[in-house]
Amino acid sequence: MATHVSEKEARDVVEAAREAEWKLPSFGKQLFLGDFRLDLIHPQPRLDPEAVEKGERFLAELRTLLETEVDPLEIERESKIPDHVVDGLKKIGALGMKVYPEYGGLGLSQLYYARALGIAGVYHSALCTLLSAHQSIGVAEPLRMFGSEEQKRKWLPMVAKDHISAFLLTEPDVGSDPARMGSIATPVDEMPVAKGYDDIVAHPVEGGYEITGRKLWATNGTVADIVVVMAKVPKSDGHRGGISAFVLPYNTPGISIEHRNQFMGLHGIENSVTRLEKVFVPEENRIAREGDGLKIALSTLNTGRLSLMAIAVGASKWATKIAREWASERVQWGRPIGEHDAVAQKLAFIAGSAFGLEAMLDVSARLADDKRNDVRIEAALCKVYGSELSWRVIDELVQVRGGRGYETAASLKARGEKPVPVEQCMRDMRVNRIFEGSSEIMHLLIAREAVDTHLEAAGGLIMGDGDAKAKADAAMKAGIFYGKWLPQLAVGKGQNPRSYEEFGPLACYLRYVERSSRKLARSTFYGMARWQAKLEKKQTFLGRIVDIGAELFAISATVVYADRIGREQPERKAGAIELAQLFCAMAKRRADTLFHELWANDDDDRYAAAQKVLAGRYSWLEEGIPDPSGDGPMMPPLD
């Protein structure tokens, strides 16, 4: 069963696992501090010609495979990727896109890996989900970052060639709160008394751990060959204990698949409930130290989150094409529907958003490839921003297509029309707001990184811990920091109408970002001063802070991306500037609204109302409507 922990204990577990040091500069971190470091993202790093040639060659092979072997309607109908398609992906090396060549992989750049996922996802989301789960969060990435050389040489050639991998973290009662993890990895040289299913189980063997527990929502979990499992090691003499990571073959005795999960979308995804019953894992299969598991998971997700942005970009670019073609051909009231203002506004939103999302991905992926910047905030912003905005893009595409947007591709084909899978795309894209950290959790994780410098400078004062002397020392430390920092937020380049003039008509948006970055930093400071330790409870306020930062990053990336396109492809310069202006104007308006709502809102009233709903004060509102799912608790009792 899941471990019962307090709110503080749960927070402490995640805090201990986060990467505390900032060894490299971070555009995102400085942006939240009011320091607009445009030099960190502009000019964009140039791509290595050899990497480009390798990437383009692979994309050509992938397109050929998709065009000749994949029937999207078959995957949707059968809820399964055909074996010959999986074999084809293995043959062209798609399982090893991110594995270095010395371990048998292709060693593609992050940028080309992202482009590959975007292309695969357009054919069917189950394809990009298979590939992303396999190498963004599966065996390859944890071993690349934390594995020993022996582990890399043993496991990476297998997952690069033909062994599908999965990542087993989530449990039935453990979503975004890993401290509640109940799966136990028992050092087998210990002899505790067995008490129950999720308790430590004694087994008279040597040289490793014995894992018992159940894992939920393991993507690739019904077809995997090798997996990474997160399990809690009890602390004891000689054992550091804590959540730890293990790599093991999926056919290890004691592992069984209880159920293949079915979802609203992503038909064809191989997602499992997996039971581990007294599974022996050799000590050499533990990745890094005991207790490093959550750190491994969080670090793996840093660049892994760019995969979801790649999927968002692919879908948004596809939506632009479908919307343009449909709105040009469909005639109502004597004119193509795209010439009617109501639809034209949607077309502009779709196209502008696709450009902005692609810009964010391009800038972030190049930063990840360049390896001279810390991209954890940028990757997290891409995940939450990309999943939210692309969902709106697809929603608008459904509206543009009208009844045909709601009709399945199979039905359209059956009556002789082009099988455009808009409704499928909408179902598939919805999960991106939940996958790999829900939008609500991502807001909190990003907010924690955004206030990191403040906690270092004034954490003792804000949290109110310690005796009188400690508080006095904390006050002095905070005074020194803020005495230097706050004055820097008063003026900046954004107030000079000639700043950034080398960006031409887009310069005004960079000036806006510079001014707004300082305003955002001041707003964060005001919130900390107002609520102090209670700020962590103001999740909606923190969410708006993060969303403003995301809009400012999006504007910055869009201007930088358009500038690069203009220099490298002069024939597209005018169009790139127009799309950038379109997107930046929309993003600026959203950011201005968020700034206003930081202090003018009804958050407290709505929170109070929600507590009354929970208490049953308004349960009479539910009367007269039956619940087809029946009575009983929402969370069933666990073994």
Helix (H) or strand (E) holding 168: strand 165-168
Which is catalytic among the residues 378, 436, 514, 551?
436
**Region of 71 on the Ramachandran plot (φ > 0 left; ψ -120 to 50 alpha; else beta):** beta
Is residue 502 part of the annotated active site? The answer reads: no
- Rounded Cα distance between 128 and 119, Å, is 8
- Rounded Cα distance between 154 and 148, Å, is 10
Residue 169 main-chain phi, psi, to 5 deg: -125, -55
Token code pair at residue 315: 């879908």
Residues with Cβ within 8 Å of residue 466, at least 6 apart in sequence:
460, 474
Q: What angle do CA 214, 297, 261 make, to 5 degrees?
A: 40
Q: What angle do CA 523, 507, 350 make, to 5 degrees?
A: 80
Contact between residue 553 and residue 28 where contact means Cβ atoms under 8 Å apart: yes
Helix (H) or strand (E) holding 166: strand 165-168
Whole-angstrom CA distances from 638 to 212, 214, 434, 479 are 14, 10, 23, 51
Contact between residue 212 and residue 280 where contact means Cβ atoms under 8 Å apart: no
- Rounded Cα distance between 465 and 460, Å, is 6
Contact between residue 129 and residue 159 where contact means Cβ atoms under 8 Å apart: no
**How long is the chain?**
639
Active-site positions? 436
